[in-house]
Amino acid sequence: MSDLSSPNWFTEQCDHTGTAISLRIKHKIVEKQSRFQKIEIYETTDFGYLMVIDGCTMLSTRDNFLYHEMMTHPALFTHEQPKNVVVIGGGDCGILNQVLKHDSVESVHQVDIDALVTEMAQHYFPQLCESNQDPRAKLEFTDGIQFMQLAKPASFDVIIVDSTDPIGPGEGLFNHAFYRNCLDALRPGGILVQQSQSPILHQALIKEMRDAMRLAGFDDLQSFLFPQPIYPSGMWSCTLARKAEPFGSFRQTDANLLSDKLEYYNPAIHLAGMQLPNFLKRALAL
Ligand code: SAM
C-alpha cells in the first residue's frame, strides 16, 4: 500500500466536506500563476493528464466526457432549436466542443476570465480544442459576470455556466443578480445550465442555487445527476433553469442520432439523469 502523502499522489483535500480525492501521478508537468488563479498540470498513471486550479481538480483526460456531455446535451436536446449559445467559464473548451456537435447551433461565445486555462488546454487536452477553429466558435477572455451584465436582452437560447467553485473569481456566478442577467439575455424557452456540485456533499448549495434561480424569475428547474470519479464524492450534478416554459419532453430522435458519437449521453441516460433520489428530493423540498 503506498503512502498518499508521497509525491507519487496528487490529493485534493476539502476540509469543509471532510473528504479528499487522490490520483496517482507520474509527475507534475507545469505550474503557472495567472492574474486570477494557480493552474497546474499533472501526468497521472491512470487518468491521463489532470488540470488543477487553485488546488481543486478540474478535469482529467480519462473522465472529462461525463461532465462535458451532461453539462451540454440535456439542455441542447430540450431546447427545440438552439442557435445561439454562451459558455461562461469553460476555458478548457470541453463544453464548446460538445455544443458544436449540434448542427442547429450558429454561434457559441465561450467567455473565460483566464486565457491561460485555454492555452494549457490547447497543449495538454488538444482533443477538447479540436473545434476551436470552427467559424461558429467565438473565444473571449473577459469576466463572465460583466459579459452577462452587458448582454443584449433576448439574444441567446442556452447559457452554460462551467465555472470553478463558488469562491474566488467564480463566486459571482452563483447568485441572484447573475441569474437575473442570464434570464434577461435568454429568449423565451431559453435554458440556463449551471454546474451544481455534489448532491451528497453540497445539498445546501444546490437548494440555495435553485431558490436564487426561481427568485430571478425562471419558470421551471430540473437538476441532473451523473458520475464524476475525480470530483469529491464521485457523484455530481448540474441544474437547468428554463425561461417562460416548463421542462418536459426533449428531442429524443435527434439525441439518439448524436449518441453514436458520444461516450456517455443517450436518451435513456437523459431520462435517468433527471430522476432525483429520495434523500435529494427531501433536501430540496421537492
Ligand atoms: N469543470 C470544472 C469544475 O466543475 O470543477 C470547472 C472547469 S474550469 C474550465 C472553470 C473555469 O471557470 C476556469 O477556466 C476559470 O478561469 C473560469 N472562471 C472562473 N470565474 C470566472 C468568471 N467570473 N468569468 C469567466 N470565467 C470564470
Which residue's C-alpha cell is 486570477? 36
171 and 267 together in one domain: yes
In a domain, 3, yes or no: no
Q: Smallest Cα–Cα separation from 58: which of 34, 38, 36?
A: 38
Task: Check residue 166 and give its pLDDT.
Answer: 77
Closest alpha carbon to 72 in 98, 38, 47, 34: 98
- Considering 103, 134, 162, 260, which one is annotated as catalytic? 162
Tell me, yes or no, if 184 is annotated catalytic. no
Question: Span 35-63, mean pLDDT?
Answer: 97
CA nearest neighbour of 264 among 231, 227, 214, 210: 227
- Protein residue closest via CA to atom 14 of ligand 1: 91
- Do 56 and 77 lie in one domain? The reply is no
Whether pLDDT at 192 is above 70: yes
169 pocket-lining for ligand 1 (C-beta < 6 Å): yes
Q: Whose CA is nearest to atom 15 of ligand 1?
A: 89
Distance CA 41, CA 43 (A): 7
Q: Is the ipTM of this complex over 0.90?
A: yes
Domain around 221: 64-283
**One domain, residues 147 and 117:** yes
Q: Give the residue whose CA is nearest to atom 9 of ligand 1.
A: 90
Per-residue pLDDT tens for 1-17? 678 888 899 999 988 89
Residues 6+ apart with CB under 8 A from 95: 68, 71, 72, 87, 110, 160, 162
| Model confidence pLDDT, tens digit, residues 251-280 | 999 999 999 999 999 999 999 999 999 999
54 is in an annotated binding site: no
Do 138 and 175 belong to one domain?
yes
- Ligand 1 neighbourhood includes 170 CB (under 6 angstroms): yes
Rounded to whole angstroms, how far apart are CA atoms 159 and 105?
A: 13
User: Rounded to the nearest whole angstrom, what is the distance from the C-alpha of residue 285 to the centroid of ligand 1?
Assistant: 29
Q: What percent of the chain has pLDDT over 90?
A: 91
Cβ of 163 below 6 Å from ligand 1: yes
Average pLDDT, the chain: 96
CA 233 to centroid of chain Cα atoms: 17
Given the DSSP bridges, would you call strands 220-227 and 56-60 parallel, antiparallel or unpaired?
Answer: unpaired
164 among annotated binding-site residues: yes
pLDDT at 142 over 80: yes
Whether 112 has a binding-site annotation, put simply, is yes
Q: What is the mean pLDDT of residues 28-41?
A: 97
Pair type for strands 84-89 and 107-112: parallel
Looking at the fold, whether 137 and 48 belong to one and the same domain comes out as no
Query: Does some domain include residue 154?
Result: yes
- Residue-wise pLDDT for 195-235, tens only, equals 999 999 999 999 999 999 999 999 999 999 999 999 999 99
Q: Are residues 193 and 96 in the same domain?
A: yes
- Buried b / exposed e over 3-28, threshold 16 CB at 10 Å, is eeeeeebbebebeeeeeebbbebeee
pLDDT value for 171: 86
Quick check: CB of 63 below 6 Å from ligand 1? no
Name the grid cell of 193: 445550465
Joined together, the cell numbers standing for residue 111 give 467567455
Residue at 245 is within a domain: yes
Do 165 and 23 reside in the same domain of the chain?
A: no
Is 202 among the annotated ligand-binding positions?
no
Counting the structural domains of the chain, the total is: 2
Q: Report yes or no: 11 and 26 within 8 Å, Cβ to Cβ.
A: no
Reported as a pLDDT band with limits 50, 70 and 90, residue 242 is very high
- CATH number of the domain bearing residue 16: 2.30.140.10
Determine the pLDDT at residue 5: 82
The answer on pLDDT for 180 being more than 80 is: yes
pLDDT at 3: 82
Please, how many CA atoms are within 13 Å of residue 82, restricted to the half-sphere of its CB?
29
66 close to ligand 1 (CB < 6 Angstrom):
no
What pLDDT does residue 108 have? 98
164 and 235 together in one domain: yes
**CATH code at position 207:** 3.40.50.150
